């Protein structure tokens, strides 16, 4: 089985104090630590487990600058066979839709039985690239996958629904799945392992190589555009809820509803 | 990569083991864990395929206290067999999530808790401590440690040490946000490559600072810097050694009475592994008002607290009573008010044991530097316990 | 915006809350004189579900076909091919849910409808619209504009808008009954599975009720369980609670336990030690109940109640049960 996994390099922002830059459309990234998008790490592991069971090849693809080779190398050390990086100044400003076009242009000419993406990216979290990509490639797909079983050219997958419910579907290969965290336990990638693949060539392809024009990608090829970034209002430390016990409970219920705390 | 070419038993000379069992006899976790270090040594030597160990959780019970290595009549280091097996597991990526998180954190953020790099020196914000990278060569570099930098409970130790150093008239600096994990625990969790990376990063800064002496909060950092870092010219001392030197040289003395009945718990990495037994006791005894009693099991025979060898991130089989709880109960029987120790991990595990045994009203756990700071009339603020 | 269509989300014969949240927002956006259209795709036997929707939409387009009993993206797309022409609207709303995420991006790509996802607010400005979405784990908000188009498509985050107090209008139902056609064998719905009880995986939970030593005794665990059940969440704990075997070790949160990232984490009688915080600090919303106002947990919690958990929890559980009927 030939598997393609799309992986993104994202900044880790949970611990960081973010600063919006001068353009107001992006954040300052100099001090941020980057790594593979968490969902994509699970997707790579899922691919490796399928390969271990079924044989075949794994190719990882990432769209982005040279630094993205870090996540590609990490995936190679983890067990992927080939890595490709798609890069072009014209790709800048792409939204999930344009990003899917870039990926589709690269993947359409590559042998593929199964394509895996993450459910969403840690940073901008559109949660849309995978499903849009499937549509462009004309493949059956399933989003939010938490279990994969293969029998012949049929996959049986579980999708994670709300409130602890799962949906079981069957899919005919070739297909695309967006992988949910928790589907497996991604293996650790040691520093020695990464050093071992440090010399492996990673091919880079640009818009022209993919037959894409400037109008297909970037802001021109996107459906949406960031106009402005701003900070949501936040308070320091906990907001203490006061009142009678009944009022406290009432306020809590309201907060729970707003924050998705009631399934 | 060279290390991988020799097999584990070859590299560690395990074939010469005479199976006397002295290692297991001294192993503090053997009483409660399926871990039998003598058998691990034997099996590592005779088994064709060491993958059998991968499913044995007890490999992670070892605290790397090194008692086994001290007791072995053949001069072997059984503990290194454990670390070697962990290295194999790390290489194949087959380790528990909590360990992965600790390793990832150290890789990305330079500390196993994955806390932000630029918050490493927050504890020192109001203390006006010099930036070591701007000091003249030949001075004192204080190597803080991840636990002391980030854990609010241990930050109090770093702050107290700063107070004590100041009182002793010491000019010292820290690396601030440039300091990264010493890698001691990382190496013991089996990630040699990452240990080397962290070592290189710290060495780069040590070379720039070019200090005469590096003083550490943690015996684990001290051990790594002193015995495992390659090409480090500076003298490396644990704070207990350095502070005792200040007292001996009459640069420091304590004038505030601290009336307290205490005992002292020997950290394995300070005592057993580096033979530093007297200095902390001497410091302790030079604080007026302190009434000191020894644990029955002390010095070379001290009981491990189970905080080392990656155990902060992985509990292993976690059967039976925690050794730290035994330690607290022993101390209660001795009628002391506080257990004094000199290691961040011991401090945390012992204090946790005081809680889990429900003895918060009866006994406290204090770091030696917190006590010293009290001897100078400065009460440490312990934030984790607001 | 004059006309907004909302895709009704239903599962196991129940209309999901997100539907009403979107209807409410749609009413607000179209204002007086505008039209809110509900799109309902379902089996003829599910027609009864319309009763809940008709009062809140000016028009309901109900496509009833046996092929549409369960949500299946290929069938939904086929149905859309037939109804899109009849739906005259400037904006379509779907949920950023397991259902919408499995459909909306494909619909946008197929019909080239300008689209953005996971929207937490929608602002109308100068006849155009701006979508507000969160980035970087909710630390930054982005104002996003969409390309011009007859129609636009947004997916809306669950819980972003209130589901109550939606204007009541007299809705007219427009039924479509032709068969949904196509070969749908490439993806087939098989069944729904309830997560097995017993093997709770706290790392996957959206809602966690976590107990610390403040719970005092094993016999008190059920009060936390009752709250968790009412919320549709699971119970987790601090290490001392696992040590005492009041809950299994797999439920322990922290450096030597599990790292969790739920939408909501309710800490009951947990002091918030560093080792505990490390395992839960990235939760979306942290609510702490502790009787000690100085407990470190309040330093990282978003909301706090300084009170006895044995008073707070039963009161809260009762309220939650109340609203769930
Ligand atoms: C106005 C605007 C400007 C932007 N400018 C830039 C820019 O200059 N540079 C930039 O890098 N990003 C930029 N982005 C973000 C980038 O385009 C997003 O990656 C894209 O919108 C996809 O959305 P997502 O990452 O949230 O993926 P989601 O829809 O959340 O899907 C995630 C999955 O898609 C796959 N995927 C997503 N991105 C990639 C990738 N790069 N390579 C391989 N697989 C991927 C992965 O499998 C991932 O798990 C911009 C976005 C906007 C809206
Ligand atoms: C190596 C090591 C690893 C560790 N790993 C972990 C880990 O993975 N996870 C973890 O959780 N801990 C871990 N710990 C333990 C940690 O240091 C703390 O001891 C522990 O988290 C404290 O648990 P707690 O908050 O439940 O208890 P306590 O700290 O005792 O807090 C109990 C709280 O309950 C409040 N309270 C009491 N009664 C009530 C009431 N009626 N109503 C409301 N509030 C009340 C009190 O005010 C107090 O704040 C570890 C420790 C060590 C040394
Ligand atoms: S003490 Fe040394 S010689 Fe004796 S069993 Fe252990 S490893 Fe072998
Ligand atoms: S290092 Fe300590 S815990 Fe580990 S095997 Fe040796 S004696 Fe036992």
C132: CATH? 3.40.50.620
Asked if residue B338 is part of any domain, the answer here is yes
Domain count, chain C: 2
Residue of C201, C258, C274, C276 to mutate, testing the B interface (most B Cβ within 10 Å of its Cβ):
C274
Residues B168 and B223 in one domain: yes
Residues B176 and B288 in one domain: no
Residues B286 and B172 in one domain: no
Burial pattern B192-223, b for ≥16 Cβ within 10 A else e, equals bbbbbbbbebbeebbeebebebbbbbbbbbbb
Q: What would the pLDDT profile of C210-256 be if each residue is shown by its tens digit?
A: 999 999 888 999 999 999 999 989 999 998 898 778 998 889 998 87
Q: Which of A147-151, B144-148, B312-316 shows the lowest mean pLDDT across its residues?
A: B312-316
* Distances, alpha carbon B6 to alpha carbons B9, B12, B16, B205, C267, in Å: 8, 9, 16, 33, 50
For residue B254, is pLDDT > 60?
yes
Residues C170 and C248 in one domain: no
Residues C133 and C206 in one domain: no
Tell which of B183, B213, B247 closes a domain: B247
Residues C16 and C161 in one domain: yes
Average pLDDT over chain A reads: 93
**Sign of the four-CA dihedral A188, A189, A191, A193:** positive
Phi, psi of C247 (to 5 degrees): -140, 155
CB B161 within 8 A of CB B367: no
For residue B326, is pLDDT > 60?
yes
Q: What is the pTM of this model?
A: 0.87
For residue A204, is pLDDT > 80?
yes
C-alpha of residue C60 to centroid of ligand 2, in Å: 53
Helix (H) or strand (E) holding A54: helix A38-54
Asked if residue A54 is part of any domain, the answer here is yes
CATH number at residue A104: 3.40.50.620
Q: Does ligand 3 come within 6 angstroms of the Cβ of B40?
A: no
Chains A–B, number of C-beta pairs less than 8 Å apart: 53
Residues B237 and B313 in one domain: no
CB A116 within 8 A of CB A171: no
Question: What is the distance between the alpha carbons of residues B238 and B242, in angstroms, rounded to a whole number?
Answer: 6
Residues B202 and B315 in one domain: no
Residue C281 belongs to domain spanning = 202-324
Asked if residue A210 is part of any domain, the answer here is no
Asked if residue A170 is part of any domain, the answer here is yes
Residues B128 and B242 in one domain: yes
Which candidate from B153, B313, B383 shows the least CB-CB separation from C256? B313
Question: What is the distance between the alpha carbons of residues B247 and B243, in angstroms, rounded to a whole number?
Answer: 6
Whether residue B359 lies within 8 A of chain C, CB to CB, comes out as no
Average pLDDT over chain C reads: 90
Residue A80 belongs to domain spanning = 2-205
pLDDT at C198: 58
Residue B86 belongs to domain spanning = 8-91
Under the banding of pLDDT at 50, 70 and 90, the label for residue B381 is confident
B380's CB contacts (< 8 A; 6+ apart) are B156, B157, B159, B160, B370, B373, B374
Of ligand 3's listed atoms, the one at least distance from the Cα of B22 is 1
Which candidate from A35, A192, A194 shows the least CB-CB separation from B1? A192
Asked if residue C238 is part of any domain, the answer here is yes
Residues C156 and C231 in one domain: no
Residues B239 and B120 in one domain: yes
Which candidate from B95, B118, B191 shows the least CB-CB separation from A191? B191
Residues B225 and B121 in one domain: yes
pLDDT at B386: 33
Q: What would the pLDDT profile of B97-129 be if each residue is shown by its tens digit?
A: 889 999 999 999 999 999 999 999 999 999 999
Average pLDDT on B142-151 reads: 97
Q: Which of C134-138, C237-241, C290-294 shows the lowest mean pLDDT across its residues?
A: C134-138
Tell which of B231, B247, B263 closes a domain: B247
Residues B333 and B243 in one domain: no
Beta carbons of C186 and A182 less than 8 Å apart: no
CA distance B85 to chain A (A): 14
Q: Which of A43-57, B342-356, B363-377, C183-197 shows the lowest mean pLDDT across its residues?
A: C183-197
CA distance B131 to chain C (A): 27
Residues C91 and C221 in one domain: no
Q: What would the pLDDT profile of C165-211 be if each residue is shown by its tens digit?
A: 899 998 889 998 878 888 999 999 999 987 665 567 898 889 999 99
- The residue length of chain C stands at 325
Q: Which of A153-167, A226-240, B264-278, C6-20 shows the lowest mean pLDDT across its residues?
A: A226-240
Q: Which of A109-113, C26-30, C216-220 shows the lowest mean pLDDT across its residues?
A: C216-220
Residues C147 and C13 in one domain: yes
Residues C306 and C227 in one domain: yes
How close are the terminal C-alpha atoms of chain A, in Å? Answer: 38
Domain count, chain B: 3
Average pLDDT on B45-53 reads: 91
Asked if residue B380 is part of any domain, the answer here is no
- The pLDDT > 90 percentage for chain B reads 90
User: What residue has token string 């949904």?
Assistant: C180
Average pLDDT on C58-81 reads: 92
Tell which of C127, C162, C177 closes a domain: C177
CATH number at residue B63: 1.10.1060.10
Residues C156 and C243 in one domain: no
Q: What would the pLDDT profile of A214-246 be if each residue is shown by its tens digit?
A: 999 999 999 999 999 998 776 567 889 999 999
Q: Which of A234-243, B144-153, B365-374, C99-108 shows the lowest mean pLDDT across its residues?
A: A234-243
Which subunits sit against A, judged by 3+ Cβ pairs under 8 A? B, C
pLDDT at C293: 87
Question: What is the distance between the alpha carbons of residues A59 and C320, in angstroms, rounded to a whole number?
Answer: 48
Residues C93 and C150 in one domain: yes
CA distance B210 to chain A (A): 27
Nearest residue CA, atom 6 of ligand 3?
A: B23
Q: Does ligand 1 come within 6 angstroms of the Cβ of A243?
A: no
pLDDT at A236: 64
Alpha helix ranges (H) inside chain B: 2-5, 8-12, 22-26, 37-46, 67-71, 78-91, 97-109, 146-150, 152-167, 184-188, 192-209, 219-223, 239-248, 278-285, 323-334, 344-356, 368-375
Average pLDDT on A185-193 reads: 95
For residue A108, is pLDDT > 50?
yes
For residue B385, is pLDDT > 50?
no
Question: What is the distance between the alpha carbons of residues A196 and A213, in angstroms, rounded to a whole number?
Answer: 37
CATH number at residue C301: 3.40.50.1220
Which position has the higher pLDDT, B4 or B82? B82
Asked if residue B300 is part of any domain, the answer here is yes
Q: Map residue A137 onto helix, strand or coil.
A: helix
Asked if residue B382 is part of any domain, the answer here is no
Asked if residue C114 is part of any domain, the answer here is yes
Residues B125 and B243 in one domain: yes
Domain count, chain A: 1
Residues B183 and B205 in one domain: yes
CB A46 within 8 A of CB A183: yes
Average pLDDT on B374-380 reads: 92
Which of B21, B68, B308 is the pocket-test mutation for ligand 4 (most atoms within 8 Å of CB)?
B68
């Amino acid at each position: 089985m030939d598997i393609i996994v799309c992986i993104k390099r994202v900044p880790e922002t949970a611990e960081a104090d973010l600063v919006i830059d001068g353009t107001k459309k992006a954040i300052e990234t100099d001090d941020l630590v980057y790594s593979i998008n968490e969902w994509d790490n699970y997707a790579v592991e899922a691919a490796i487990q399928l390969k271990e069971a079924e044989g075949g090849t794994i190719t990882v693809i990432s769209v982005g600058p040279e630094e993205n080779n870090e996540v590609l190398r990490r995936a190679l050390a983890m067990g992927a066979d080939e890595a490709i990086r798609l890069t072009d100044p014209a790709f800048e400003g792409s939204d999930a839709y344009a990003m899917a076009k870039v990926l589709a242009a690269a993947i359409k000419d590559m042998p593929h039985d199964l394509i895996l993406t993450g459910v969403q990216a840690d940073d901008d979290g559109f949660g849309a690239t995978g499903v849009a990509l499937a549509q462009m490639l004309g493949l059956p797909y399933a989003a939010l996958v938490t279990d994969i079983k293969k029998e012949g050219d049929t996959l049986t997958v579980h999708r994670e629904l709300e409130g602890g419910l799962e949906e079981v579907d069957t899919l005919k290969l070739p297909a695309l799945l967006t992988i949910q965290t928790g589907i497996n336990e991604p293996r650790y990638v040691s520093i020695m392992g990464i050093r071992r693949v440090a010399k492996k060539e990673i091919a880079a392809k640009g818009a022209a190589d993919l037959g894409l024009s400037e109008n297909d990608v970037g802001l021109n090829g996107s459906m949406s555009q960031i106009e402005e970034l701003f900070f949501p209002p936040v308070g320091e430390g906990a907001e203490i809820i006061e009142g009678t016990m009944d009022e406290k409970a009432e306020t809590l219920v309201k907060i729970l509803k707003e924050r998705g705390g009631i399934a | 990569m060279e290390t991988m070419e020799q097999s584990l038993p070859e590299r560690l000379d395990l074939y010469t083991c005479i199976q006397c069992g002295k290692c297991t006899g001294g192993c503090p976790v053997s009483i409660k864990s399926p871990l039998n270090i003598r058998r691990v040594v034997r099996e590592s030597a005779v088994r064709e395929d060491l993958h059998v160990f991968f499913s044995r959780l007890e490999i992670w019970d070892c605290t790397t206290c090194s008692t086994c290595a001290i007791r072995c009549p053949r001069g072997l280091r059984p503990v290194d067999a454990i670390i070697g097996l962990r290295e194999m597991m790390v290489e194949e990526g087959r380790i528990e999530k909590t360990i992965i998180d600790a390793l990832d954190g150290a890789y990305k953020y330079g500390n196993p808790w994955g806390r932000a790099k630029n918050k490493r020196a927050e504890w020192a914000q109001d203390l006006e401590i010099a930036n070591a990278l701007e000091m003249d060569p030949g001075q004192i570099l204080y190597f803080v440690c991840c636990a002391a930098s980030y854990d609010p409970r241990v930050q109090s130790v770093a702050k107290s040490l700063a107070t004590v150093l100041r009182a002793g008239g010491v000019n010292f600096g820290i690396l601030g946000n440039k300091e990264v994990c010493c890698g001691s625990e990382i190496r013991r969790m089996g990630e040699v490559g990452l240990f080397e990376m962290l070592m290189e990063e710290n060495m780069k800064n040590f070379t720039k600072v070019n200090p005469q002496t590096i003083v550490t909060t943690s015996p684990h950092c001290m051990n790594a810097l002193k015995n495992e870092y390659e090409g480090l010219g500076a003298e490396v001392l644990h704070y207990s050694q350095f502070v005792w030197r200040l007292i001996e040289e009459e640069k420091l003395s304590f004038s505030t009475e601290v009336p307290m009945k205490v005992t002292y718990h020997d950290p394995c990495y300070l005592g057993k592994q580096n033979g530093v037994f007297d200095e902390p006791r001497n410091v302790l005894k030079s604080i007026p008002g302190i009434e000191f009693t020894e644990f029955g099991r002390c010095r070379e025979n001290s009981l491990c607290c189970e905080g080392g060898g990656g155990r902060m991130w992985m509990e292993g089989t976690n059967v039976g009573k925690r050794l730290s709880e035994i330690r607290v109960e022993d101390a209660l029987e001795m009628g002391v008010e506080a257990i004094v120790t000199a290691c961040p991990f011991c401090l945390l595990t012992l204090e946790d044991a005081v809680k889990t045994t429900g003895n918060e009203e009866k006994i406290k756990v204090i770091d030696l530097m917190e006590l010293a700071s009290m001897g100078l009339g400065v009460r440490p603020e312990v934030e984790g316990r607001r | 915006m004059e006309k907004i269509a909302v895709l009704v989300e239903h599962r196991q014969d129940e209309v999901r809350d997100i539907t009403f949240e979107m209807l409410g927002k749609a009413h607000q956006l179209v204002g007086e004189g505008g039209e809110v259209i509900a799109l309902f795709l379902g089996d003829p036997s599910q027609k009864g579900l319309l009763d809940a929707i008709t009062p809140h939409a000016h028009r309901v387009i109900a496509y009833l076909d046996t092929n549409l009993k369960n949500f299946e993206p290929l069938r939904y797309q086929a149905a859309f091919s037939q109804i899109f022409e009849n739906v005259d609207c400037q904006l379509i709303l779907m949920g950023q849910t397991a259902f919408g995420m499995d459909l909306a991006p494909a619909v946008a790509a197929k019909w080239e409808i300008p689209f953005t996802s996971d929207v937490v607010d929608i602002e109308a400005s100068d006849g155009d619209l701006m979508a507000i979405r969160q980035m970087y784990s909710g630390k930054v908000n982005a104002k996003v504009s969409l390309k011009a188009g007859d129609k636009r498509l947004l997916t809306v985050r669950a819980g972003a808008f209130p589901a109550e107090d939606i204007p009541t209008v007299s809705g007219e139902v427009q039924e479509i009954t032709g068969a949904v056609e196509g070969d749908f064998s490439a993806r087939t719905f098989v069944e729904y599975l309830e997560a097995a009880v017993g093997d709770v995986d706290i790392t996957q939970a959206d809602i966690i009720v976590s107990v610390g030593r403040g719970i005092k005794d094993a016999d008190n665990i059920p009060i936390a369980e009752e709250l968790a059940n009412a919320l549709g969440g699971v119970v987790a704990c601090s290490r001392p609670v696992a040590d005492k075997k009041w809950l299994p070790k797999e439920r322990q949160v922290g450096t030597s336990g599990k790292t969790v990232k739920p939408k909501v984490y309710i800490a009951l009688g947990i002091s918030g030690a560093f080792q505990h915080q490390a395992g839960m600090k990235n939760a979306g919303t942290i609510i702490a109940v502790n009787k000690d106002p100085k407990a470190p947990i309040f330093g990282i919690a978003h909301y706090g109640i300084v009170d006895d958990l044995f008073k707070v929890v039963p009161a809260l559980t009762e309220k939650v049960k109340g609203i769930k009927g």
